[in-house]
Amino acid sequence: MTALDTAESSRRTPRGLLWEPSERWVRGRRGEVTVVDSRHPVLVWEPGLPVPMYAFPREEVRADLLRPAENPPTGAHTGSTVFYDLEIDGELLPNAAWTFADDDLAGHIAFEWFRRTGKGLDHWYEEEEEIFIHPRDPHKRVDAIPSSRHVRVEVDGTVVANTRRPVLLFETGLPTRYYLPREDVRLDLFTPTDHRTGCPYKGTAEYWSWRGDADVPSDLLWSYPDPLPAVAAVKGLLAFYNEAVDITVDGERLDRPVTHFTRSST
């Protein structure tokens, strides 16, 4: 019996990787080819990164599709040792997979997720549900709760939203996001963009940018037109980056938070 079999909670390796076993059935595909089919996946968090990855026992991976990497990267992943290129139907995907040096994770292989890094496997499933961007963190909650708070939003002194019908989205590790009815937002002051992002907890977001001359970031405003069922309450509502606008809730102006989104939103 291995350490992974007996683990009861998260553990940390000497190189700083945090890991814990998962009981979810996970599959990863490239096109129509199933590369991973695992009932014993392990969630792994790299130091300084807020989201986990999966690693899989080698026997639950199509190892016959892996080739020693021709040009392995340096420092791409904490504790990585051997990188592999993935070859499927004549297509070679460089550095799509890797192993770990720590004994705790010996015999396990991790893969890049195409929708997160632009390379690797492009379809992932937990049980029968497709998941996107990265695995969902079992220690993270995302709750969308209707409220009657009075929320006002300003961009460079201009009031762009005013409502008493927000939906507050509470997501572990992030500031509260205020999702507002479209009729309570001056959407005429914004221009839709082609920018799209994906979230494993909420779905795919569409964006708008400020039309004025203020020094504010692009893609300041977003909406989930077809959110995942867990956050269905935000469907079609609009939210702003707290990091780059002034939000007043029940008469109290909120401080602008500093998050990993701050760099892209300021």
| Domain-wise residue ranges, the chain | 3-131, 142-265
pLDDT at 13 over 50: yes
- Cβ atoms of 26 and 57 closer than 8 Å: no
Q: What average pLDDT is seen over the chain?
A: 91
- Cβ atoms of 232 and 179 closer than 8 Å: no
- Cβ atoms of 120 and 93 closer than 8 Å: yes
- How many distinct helices (H) and strands (E) make up the chain? 3, 23
Q: In what order do the strands lie in the sheet with 246-249?
A: 158-163, 151-155, 246-249, 252-253
pLDDT at 258 over 80: yes
Report the top-level CATH class of 3-131.
Answer: mainly beta
CB atoms closer than 10 angstroms to residue 1: 5
pLDDT at 263 over 60: no
**CA gap 31, 172 in Å, rounded:** 33
Digit-coded pLDDT (tens) for 65-95: 999 999 998 878 887 789 999 999 999 999 9
Residue with tokens 């990267």: 73
Q: In what order do the strands lie in the sheet with 11-12?
A: 11-12, 18-21, 42-45, 53-57, 108-111, 91-100, 80-88, 66-68
7: confidence class by pLDDT, cuts 50, 70, 90: very low
Digit-coded pLDDT (tens) for 22-56: 999 999 999 999 999 999 999 999 988 888 999 99
Report, as an integer, the average pLDDT of 143-154.
Answer: 98
Residue 153 pairs in a beta bridge with: 161, 247
CATH superfamily, domain 142-265, is: Domain of unknown function (DUF427) (2.170.150.40)
Coil vs helix vs strand at 105: helix
Fold: same for 3-131 and 142-265: yes
CA 257 to chain centre: 19
